[in-house]
Amino acid sequence: MAGSLDYSVHQYGTGNYLQRLGVWGVDFERKSKYWIIYIHGGAWRDPRVDFETFAPTIDRIISSQHPLASAIAAFASLDYRLGPHPLFPQDPASTPVSQYRNAKHPDHLNDIRSALSYLQKRYAFGSNYVLVGHSAGACLAFQLIGSPESADLVLPQAIVGFEGIYDFTGINSRYRGGYAEFLTGAFGDPSCWDSAAPMKLPGSLKEGWNEGKLAALGWSRDDPLIDEPEIDGMTAKLERDGVKLVLFKDLHGGHDELWENGADVARMILTTLDAIYAT
């Protein structure tokens, strides 16, 4: 289980307490094995959702009987700077700068790049990793490969995104403006949304993702916060861009229940490893 692994917490940046990550080591020395790296969700602002929320999925993978569980070198989970949350207000006059949550795009994405660069320099696993993202974390994973600023970063061989937010204007419209507050908090004025949304990124996501072998997308009908057009639209974008796809539209559980339980997330990751080895 996760508690039995070689666990350590690292600061990859010095400006904010959230520039940190957790590592659960299994077999650091075997460079042919894969790292599984997780980006949590939380609408770019929820301080209750952090890197430790990956632990239930790690437990599920470690306890599984899947043969490719032994192909994993380590797990990592990334925190990143967050924006302000109305339920957890902070007074800028009395809050230390390092504790203050006022991030806005591209701060979150820059932190993901910095965290991955830190891990690459310390552990040198190259492209032998799967990047997993939930909700806003799935958005960040696809923003990463679609960003020219990621050109100097070694990108993953696969991405697993589940309950992802990919089309900001679309989902906000379908939910009758209910997402405008946190999307504006994360990305600014609605006129800026499409330029940052993975589904609306210009060009091909495959073009700059030379290491990429496939993407996996997951969605649960039990999730009241993310509707089916999100996964369908991102599927269409990836197919147009020539990215090999694995789809999981059979997940079970609400938006946060998926990572709280971890079983379906573990299944997606292990199936993705299967697909990598099959290519």
Supply the residues annotated as catalytic.
135, 223, 255
Q: Each residue of 153-177: b (16+ CB within 10 Å) or e? A: bbbbbbbbbbbbbbbbbbbbeeeee
d(Cα 39, Cα 79) in Å, to the nearest integer? 7
Q: Is there a contact between 19 and 111 (Cβ–Cβ < 8 Å)?
A: yes
Question: Residue 125: which of 156, 146, 159 has the closest Cα?
Answer: 156
Task: Give the DSSP per-residue string, 189-252.
Answer: SGGGHHHH-GGG-SS-TTTT-TT--EEEEEEETT-SSS-HHHHHHHHHHHHHTT--EEEEEEE-
Contacts of 269 (CB under 8 A, 6+ apart): 36, 57, 61, 130, 132, 160
* Beta partners for residue 214, in sequence order: 158
Contacts of 267 (CB under 8 A, 6+ apart): 248
d(Cα 219, Cα 238) in Å, to the nearest integer? 16
